[in-house]
Structure 1
Amino acid sequence: MSSFQNPPLILGSTSKYRRELLERLRIPFEVISPKVDETPLTGESTLDLAMRLARAKAAAVAKEHPNAWVIGSDQVADLCGAAIGKPGNFERALAQLQLMRGQTVIFQTALCLMKGDTQTTLCVPTEVTFRKLPDNVLEAYLLAEEPYDCAGSAKSEGLGISLLESIKSDDPTALIGLPLIALTGLLRDAGFAIPSKN
């Protein structure tokens, strides 16, 4: 029996969705909340914002844990170049869904794997086209799902899938918040065994 153990791994995130996704890989990891200001910079594109925040989240945790690999990730929803964040409440969520009705939104999901001075950052975009649905359908969805902690207010892994016309992506997990296809490759390059026996 092999005595191999994977290196220490930390998910720098407060997102329960990212934690649940990472658990799919069945490798031990710790979760630490990064303290990062997520305010966009003036003139910053949605892609640059997602990439910067993914790096910043990883760096905030890696600084305190130099012997561990740290995952940072961030997602920004882009409608015609404008960032759409987490709504926080019913009214803002409804306004978001009304704005995105019949539109295609690009969800920029950035990923950073960092240890000390070593880091890799990438982004997996997902094109999501929303159906043209009346307000009463959008309101019923929000009351049933309460997706107020999700950028764009539509949880594709739940009832939000009923609001969508199509999804185009190289990685279905990217839209949920953590692109596991890309992450698995980065972790293997960093010396992780996936699947793992530990």
Structure 2
Amino acid sequence: MQHTNLILASTSIYRKALLNKLAIPFTALDPQCDETPLPNESAQQLVTRLARIKAQSCQLDLTKTNIVIGSDQVCIIDDEIIGKPLNRANAITQLSRSNGRSITFYTGIAVYNSTTNQCDVELDTFIVRFRKLSPSQIENYVDKEQPFYCAGSFKSEGLGIALFERLEGNDPNSLIGLPLITLINMLEKQGIAIL
């Protein structure tokens, strides 16, 4: 791996923290891409396309092989993509809409090899079932954790766990934005062994 650069195409502190769990050196770079959905593009198509674009947008050293990880995530309620709330009122509205219901997260993950020009892309699906919460419980949560930059208006790695009745998926890390189980398999195909 000495002639390989591992790059995370993300400025997200959450994705960086997740990748740090694997105890391998990497560099995080800001992917430059337009994240606007295309006409008639499904949520699944959107996240896999953006993950690919992000991975292919970042190169560190053209004299070495760059293995670049790109990821994108959306939250879906009633077949509608829900973005980051950005403020208290929107977070309360999002959580009130999710109250007592199931919502779906789609996470696209791509691993791009600059030498072979090959880009592998996977899609991870995770379903969150919310408990029935009172308006004051929702407001208390938002005020305590202020999840304004999190899709779905919660931080599952923190107090957000108190909002849920059930979680359904292969990897809880995908809720935070980077499905590590899938990523480990993808990196191993590129010759990067985690253990």
TM-score by length of 2: 0.93
Partners of 1:77 and 1:108 within 8 A in 2? yes
1:99 is matched with: 97
Instruction: Kindly indicate whether residue 36 of structure 2 is the aligned counterpart of residue 39 of structure 1.
Output: yes
Query: Aligned ranges for residues 1-198 of structure 1 at < 5 Å?
Result: 5=2, 7-62=4-59, 65-66=61-62, 67-116=65-114, 117-195=117-195
Q: What TM-score results when the alignment is normalised by the length of structure 1?
A: 0.92
Number of matched pairs: 191
Distance of aligned partners of 1:51 and 1:42 in 2 relative to their CA distance in 1, 3 Å threshold? same
Gapped runs of 5+ residues in structure 1?
A: none
Alignment partners' CA distance in 1, 2:3 and 2:140: 45
Q: Which amino acid aligns with 2:25?
A: P
Within 1, Cα distance between the matches of 2:94 and 2:149?
Answer: 13
Please state whether the residue corresponding to 1:174 is helix, strand or coil: helix
Q: CA RMSD in A?
A: 1.4
CA deviation map 1:31-75 (0-9, x unaligned): 00111111222221111111111111111114x655311000011
Unaligned runs of 5+ in 2: none
CA spacing shift, 1:166–1:5, aligned 2, 3 Å = same
> 4+ runs of 1 displaced by more than 2 Å?
4-7, 64-67
Structure 1 CA distance for aligned equivalents of residues 135 and 56 of structure 2: 42
Identical-pair percentage = 44
